[in-house]
């Protein structure tokens, strides 16, 4: 783990690459066989022999087993990352959505230690969007909340937004004070300013000592409250073990937004709890972000399957959850 969905056209550099083969290609190879080929200077090639035709449940089971065997073969080659196709997608044995479910379930059962990153390549994003009926509801949800024109920092706070004020008036203190007036500041006045600064510094130091619960502390507390083990949590969050160790060992560790949300999903936090966890990491959810609206949609509807959420994020060209 983690498991990612990427476009087939994406240029992903991994230690290994899985390739589909057909039974008659090698003659002696039959459907379900998996074998590795290594060549110095190139990624390890993991060959997976797919069936000739669709035999329903038997084919689905064979595809799931192929994913498991691919990971096992990659482990034997001591690789930390692998790219593999959505098996039989071009054969149209099943629709893209079903094939993704087979892949995700198989990988979730197989990748237990969290040390291998897996990238599944998908050819037909448009088909994926068409097949997922709930994406229509999600699209309506996004459309209702996303501003027609996203306001940027510069446009929101430019002079055009404040026609009654001129830029120089925002800094009236310095504009109205002449150099001569500044030069006439007396020693007692300067001393008073220094004294005030010292008091402010003392107050700041006191405030810093009262730092609230950090993201790491909240995460560990929530894991305990949920009765989960660390491994269960980071696996469900699509996070690798090394990153989780960093978060656990550093009280003030600041994760990325996607990582923070991934843990909120893994812990099945409410929307308010998710916002609180994000705040601990210095983030917030906003209706000016399509990514944020998608996250809000799934959490509000009590859907905490991180792979399902990632399918939606992938379909709408957003960053995926996990790290």
**Residue 311: what pLDDT?**
92
Domains and CATH numbers, the chain: 3-126 (3.40.220.10), 136-153+212-315 (1.10.260)
**Residue 300: what pLDDT?**
96
**Residue 247: what pLDDT?**
94
Encoded tokens for 105: 């379930």
**Residue 125: what pLDDT?**
79
**Residue 26: what pLDDT?**
56
Q: How far apart are CA 255 and CA 263, in angstroms?
A: 10
In whole angstroms, how far apart are CA 54 and each of 59, 62, 117, 305? 6, 10, 29, 28
| Cis omega (within 30 of 0) for bond into 2 | yes
**Residue 179: what pLDDT?**
42
Q: How far apart are CA 165 and CA 175, in angstroms?
A: 14
Encoded tokens for 16: 């290994």
Q: How far apart are CA 263 and CA 257, in angstroms?
A: 10
On whether the CB atoms of residues 315 and 137 are closer than 8 A, the answer is: no
pLDDT tens for each residue of the chain, 323 residues long: 688 898 888 888 899 999 998 886 556 788 889 999 988 888 999 999 998 888 888 999 999 999 999 988 988 898 889 999 999 988 888 988 889 999 988 887 776 655 688 999 998 777 777 778 778 899 999 999 988 654 333 333 333 333 333 333 333 333 334 344 444 445 555 455 555 555 565 666 555 555 678 999 999 999 999 999 999 999 999 998 889 999 999 999 999 999 999 999 999 999 999 999 999 999 999 999 999 999 999 999 999 999 999 999 999 999 999 86
In whole angstroms, how far apart are CA 61 and each of 56, 69, 165, 181, 198? 9, 12, 69, 84, 71
**Residue 174: what pLDDT?**
37
223-228: long-range contacts, CB 8 A cutoff, minimum separation 24: 223/267, 226/267, 226/268, 228/267
**Residue 205: what pLDDT?**
59
**Residue 90: what pLDDT?**
87
Q: How far apart are CA 278 and CA 16, in angstroms?
A: 35
Taking CA 80 as the corner, what is the angle to CA 51 and CA 242, rounded to the nearest 5 degrees?
130
Encoded tokens for 95: 């629709």
**Residue 195: what pLDDT?**
56
């Amino acid at each position: 783990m983690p498991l990612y969905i990427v476009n087939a056209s994406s240029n992903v550099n991994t230690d290994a690459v899985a390739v589909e083969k057909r039974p008659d290609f090698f003659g002696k190879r039959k459907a379900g066989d998996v074998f590795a080929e290594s060549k110095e200077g190139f990624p390890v090639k993991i060959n997976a022999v797919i069936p000739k035709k669709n035999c329903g449940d038997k084919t689905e089971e064979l595809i799931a087993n192929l994913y498991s065997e691919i990971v096992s073969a990659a482990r034997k080659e001591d690789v930390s990352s692998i790219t593999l196709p959505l098996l039989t997608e071009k054969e149209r044995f099943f629709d893209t959505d079903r094939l993704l479910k087979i892949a995700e379930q198989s990988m979730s059962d197989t990748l237990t230690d969290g040390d291998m990153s897996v990238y599944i390549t998908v050819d037909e994003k448009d088909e994926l969007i068409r097949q997922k009926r709930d994406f229509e509801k999600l699209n309506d949800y996004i459309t209702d909340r996303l501003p027609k024109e996203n306001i940027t920092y510069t446009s929101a706070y430019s002079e055009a937004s404040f026609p009654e004020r001129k830029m120089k008036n925002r800094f009236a203190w310095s504009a109205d004070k002449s150099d001569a007036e500044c030069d006439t500041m007396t020693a007692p006045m300067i001393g008073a300013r220094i004294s005030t600064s010292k008091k402010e510094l003392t107050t700041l130091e006191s405030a810093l000592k009262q730092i609230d619960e950090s993201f790491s502390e909240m995460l560990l507390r929530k894991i305990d409250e949920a009765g989960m083990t660390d491994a269960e949590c980071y696996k469900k969050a699509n996070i690798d073990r090394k990153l989780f160790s960093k978060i656990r060992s550093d009280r003030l560790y600041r994760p990325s937004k996607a990582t923070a949300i991934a843990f909120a999903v893994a812990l099945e936090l409410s929307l308010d709890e998710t916002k609180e966890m994000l705040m601990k990491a210095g983030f917030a959810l906003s209706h000016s972000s399509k990514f944020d609206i998608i996250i809000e949609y799934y959490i509000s509807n009590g859907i905490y399957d991180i792979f399902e959420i990632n399918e939606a994020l992938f379909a709408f060209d957003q960053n995926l959850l996990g790290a």
